[in-house]
Amino acid sequence: MATIAAALAASLVIAGCGDGGDEAGDGKSLKLWHYEAPNSAMGIAWKQAIEEFKKSHPGVTVKVEEKGFEQIQKTASMVLNSGDAPDLMEYNKGNATTGLLSKQGLLTDLTPEVTKRGWDKPLSSGVRTTSRYDAQGVMGSGNWYGIPNYAEYTMVFYNKTLFTKHHIKVPTTFDEFTAALKAFKNKGVTPLASAGAEYPAHQYVYQLALSKADRSWVDAYEQYQGKPDFHDAAWTYGATTFAD
């Protein structure tokens, strides 16, 4: 397994500020929603975090409700505005997701806790961007509404037998990677397949575009500090390289 691209994006753990039902705020229970499979790396991490929480908060019952990713995406605003809101919820970063909920007043401002506990100190500036949202729900500044709990990496699984059979060097750099794809194609072998029903495709395009972008490009696209040009050199490189 070779790591070809850099880290993509961190997901967020968000605190909901609906009334949370009759047990909310009683200090005896914590309702948590997340969408990770029990046997996944993130699911295992959640389980360990819960056990650590129980040790430091004796007498508190943690009620875990596993939800589907799409289920949370589609119902978050309705649930957080009801008596069934969880105390803590895993939710996606972004202006159209976390930003929208914060703008609607459905999330708790975590800034005092972030400052008190120093949660911001281990985070890079890029990751801090996705954790803070202003009054308009635009990420990058303002209050803290979530803390990243994991990072994702783009991985490539390769067939050692095919590399040996066709005398192609296993790549360790991006240039070697694209050269290997071309070599396989020239030999009539389909060089690359994308998993997840094409789900990662937009992430690949964006990662490729980022490799040609600077900070002002990112600020214009993610924080509306300028007007993005979707026909510029970076976007064009991302789209054409992915298509190739």
pLDDT tens digits along 173-202: 989 999 999 999 999 999 988 776 667 788
How confident is the model at residue 25, as a pLDDT?
59
Q: What is the pLDDT of residue 4?
A: 31
Domain edges within the chain: 7-153, 156-243
Question: For residues 157 and 193, what is the distance between their CA atoms, to the nearest angstrom?
Answer: 10
- What pLDDT, in 10s, does the model give residues 37-50? 888 888 898 999 99
pLDDT at 24: 53
Provide the percentage of residues in the chain whose pLDDT is more than 90: 48
Is residue 242 within 8 Å of 201, Cβ to Cβ?
yes
Which of 1-15, 60-74, 136-150, 213-227 has the least mean pLDDT? 1-15
The burial class, CB within 10 Å (0-12 / 13-18 / 19+), for 54 is middle
One-letter amino acid of 186: N
Residue 3 is predicted with a pLDDT of 31
pTM, rounded to two decimals? 0.67
Domain 7-153 has CATH 3.40.640.10: no
Using a 10 angstrom Cβ sphere, with 0-12 exposed, 13-18 middle and 19 or more buried, the burial of residue 244 is exposed
> Quick one: tokens of 16?
């909901």
Rounded Cα distance between 143 and 161, Å, is 52
Question: Which of residues 150 and 139 earns the better pLDDT score?
Answer: 139
Provide the mean pLDDT of the chain: 85
| pLDDT category of residue 5 using cuts at 50, 70 and 90 | very low
User: Measured between alpha carbons, how far is 91 from 218 in angstroms, rounded to an integer?
Assistant: 22
Range 6-20 average pLDDT: 52
Tell me the per-residue pLDDT of 68-93, one tens digit each, with 9 for 90 and over.
888 888 888 888 888 888 999 898 88
